[in-house]
Structure 1
Amino acid sequence: MAIKDELDDELKAAMRTHDRNRTDVVRQISTEVARAVKAPGFTGEADDALYRKTIASYAKKMGKALAEYERLGDRGAEAAAKLKFEVEYLARWLPKAVAEEEVAVFVDAAVQALGAADMQAMGQVMGYLMKHHPGLDGSVVSRLVKARLSEN
């Protein structure tokens, strides 16, 4: 079943059960996808790849906001709980996280394949990795690439 169809079914079920949190997050994803489709330069259609990219982007933003609300303690507890639900709820449509050890193997292979010898090649290595391994956490990849290229 396509992600759009799953989300439509989820929205209907959430509305039937008056689940406000699920209704809000599904509607927000639909809004984000609509924005992406209407964005200048977008060509194509709203397929599963666009939905996954949009969900990943939204979940990442909400994850960052969650960390901020958690730092506020009791003042941000209610908002943090809502954001935590959203991030956990959307996780089913996200690719499984790759272990850091596996990312390190990808980094080593990319450095060897490109013949990267110093930090000046960091952008090239990052681009190669993100193109060939979509779904990797960019911050983890960046940290490992820096460490690997600093060794040389």
Structure 2
Amino acid sequence: MSLKDQIGEDIKAAMKSKDKIRLETVRSIKKLLLEKEVSVRPAGQEALTEEQEMEVLVQLAKQRRDSIEQYRQAKREDLASQEAQELAIIEEYLPQQMSDEEVSAIIDQIIAQAGATTAKDMGKVMGPAMQQLKGKTDGKKVQEMVKAKLNS
């Protein structure tokens, strides 16, 4: 089942169960996917690729994580809680997230391949790391790990 079909089914299920947060979240995902699909049509592409769908979902998840952080800093736990619920729903559509150990092993491998030794080599590592780990873990976590490994 394609992501688009899955989202359509989930909207119906959320409407039947009267799950307001799930319904709003899934509708927002559908809206952004449709907007992205319309934006690629002038290039002759009829539908989104799986990678483009993942980009939209990763972007939504990142926005929610940033919002949660900002709401918690502003002592607005009610809003942070709602964003966390939305994030959990978005993450259901993302691939299984990798553990810190798996991410660390991949970063070590990339550092060895790139021959990176200092913080100045961070660019050599971040590009390939994000390409390999996109959608599988949080980019901020990757950046922190790379920075820690190159500074030690």
TM-score interval, normalised by the smaller of the two chains: 0.7 to 0.9
Query: Which residue is 2:144 aligned to?
Result: 143
Displacement of 1:121 after TM fit?
A: 1.7
- TM-score of the superposed pair, with normalisation by structure 1: 0.82
- Identity, in percent, stands at 26
Q: 1:29 to 1:101 in 2, by over 3 A?
A: same
Q: 1:105 to 1:43 in 2, by over 3 A?
A: farther
Structure 1 residue ranges without an equivalent (≥5): none
The question of whether the paired residues in 1 share the 8 Å contact of 2:60 and 2:90 is answered with no
Q: Alignment RMSD, CA only?
A: 2.3
Query: Which residue is 1:64 aligned to?
Result: 66
The question of whether the paired residues in 2 share the 8 Å contact of 1:29 and 1:55 is answered with yes
Structure 2 residue ranges without an equivalent (≥5): none
Q: Distance in 2 between matches of 1:36 and 1:96?
A: 23
Deviation readout 1:79-125 (Å, 9 max, x if unpaired): 33322221112221122222222222112111111112322221111
The question of whether the paired residues in 1 share the 8 Å contact of 2:72 and 2:80 is answered with yes
Deviation readout 1:10-51 (Å, 9 max, x if unpaired): 111222333322221111011111232344786642243322
Q: Distance in 2 between matches of 1:10 and 1:117?
A: 47
Query: Which residue is 2:113 aligned to?
Result: 113
How many aligned residue pairs are there? 149
The question of whether the paired residues in 2 share the 8 Å contact of 1:36 and 1:42 is answered with no
The AA in structure 2 aligned to 1:50 is Q
Query: Which residue is 2:123 aligned to?
Result: 123
Query: Which residue is 1:53 aligned to?
Result: 55
- TM-score of the superposed pair, with normalisation by structure 2: 0.82
The AA in structure 2 aligned to 1:48 is E
Q: 1:81 to 1:123 in 2, by over 3 A?
A: same
Q: 1:17 to 1:148 in 2, by over 3 A?
A: closer
Structure 1 segments, 4+ long, off by >6 Å, are 40-43
